Amino acid sequence: MLIKILVDNTALEGFESTHGFSVVIEDDVRFLFDVGPNALFLENAKTMNVDLSDIDTVVLSHGHWDHGNGLLNLSGKRLILHPGCFLERFRKRNNTPVGLSMSKEQLRENYDIVESKIPYWISEQIVFLGEIPRENDFESKESPFLLSDGSADFVPDDSAIAIKGEKGLIVISGCAHAGICNTVAYAKKVCEQEAVFAVLGGFHLKELDEVTNKTIQFFKEEKVSVLGPTHCTSFKVRDEFKKYLDVIELNAGSQVEL
């Protein structure tokens, strides 16, 4: 299985970076997982010699601009997402918008939209997890986002991809607003598989705090072989992971074979 990073906050030489996330996943099917904030995913795909013309499915991890506004640059695809992706949402600190810049009605003009709160199997091996239960006692307890009515937005639409691999589960998150440990635990339940081989993507961990410490302990207990924190995971958190776990570097232009 191949994972090709098209958009990330950092980039390899010859590629461009921006705040956002987009990957191509190639296994028994090929599809896009997130598309970043603009057309950069198309430009970096060309630089990587990645042909997107025959990809007919896009999966959106959640309804934030840095993962989904690139949808304006595609059409004629199936778009798999949680129905909450279209919520109007804002940053708590300054009330600036963080949601998608297009409505469901606008996207329906260019996409065949599949909305699912429950797990949706893209193939026999790959599943869109749908809404992820927040079950542990340390993740997703606070949120920097608000809904239009002023209530806290815990990003209920946050989801991820799980792949049943020969060496164990591979979990790919966009931002893990539900908590990366909650996400992995739910992937194990949905896929009925205990071994977790790799966890890649945005973990939304910024500080060296209790949440980060408990996340490290969780990954150690799960015996995760490959850890690829990127996008919304701070560099100091990544450095802390490296003290205890096997961490790979991910940037726009990276290709990971698992």
Interval 56-88: pLDDT, tens: 999 999 999 999 999 999 999 999 999 999 999
Question: What is the phi-psi region of residue 220: left when phi exceeds 0, alpha when psi lies from -120 to 50, beta otherwise?
Answer: alpha
Sign of the CA dihedral 75, 77, 80, 83? positive
Interval 181-232: pLDDT, tens: 999 999 999 999 999 999 999 999 999 999 999 999 999 999 999 999 999 9
Amino acid residing at 171: V
pLDDT score for 212: 98
Mean pLDDT taken over the chain: 97
Structure tokens at 28: 């028994």
**Locus of tokens 């570097």:** 249
Collapse the DSSP code of 80 into the 3-class scheme (helix H, G, I; strand E, B; otherwise coil) and give the result.
strand
Flag whether the pTM goes above 0.95.
yes
Q: At what angle do helices 235-242 and 210-222 cross, to 10 degrees?
A: 40
Count of domains observed in the chain = 1
Q: Residue 220: count other Cβ atoms within 10 Å of its Cβ.
A: 11
Interval 116-128: pLDDT, tens: 999 999 999 999 9
Collapse the DSSP code of 160 into the 3-class scheme (helix H, G, I; strand E, B; otherwise coil) and give the result.
strand
For residue 86, the enclosing domain spans 2-257
Question: What are the backbone dihedrals phi and psi of residue 194, each rounded to the nearest 5 degrees, phi first?
Answer: -90, -40
**CA neighbours within 13 Å on the CB side: how many for 121?**
7
Q: In this prediction, what percent of the chain has a pLDDT beyond 90?
A: 100
What CATH number is attached to the domain comprising 200? 3.60.15.10
Give the sheet arrangement for strand 57-59, strand by strand. Answer: 111-115, 77-81, 57-59, 30-33, 22-26, 2-7, 255-257
What are the strands, taking DSSP E only, across 94-138? 111-115, 120-121, 126-128
Number of DSSP helices (H) and strands (E) in the chain, helices first? 6, 15
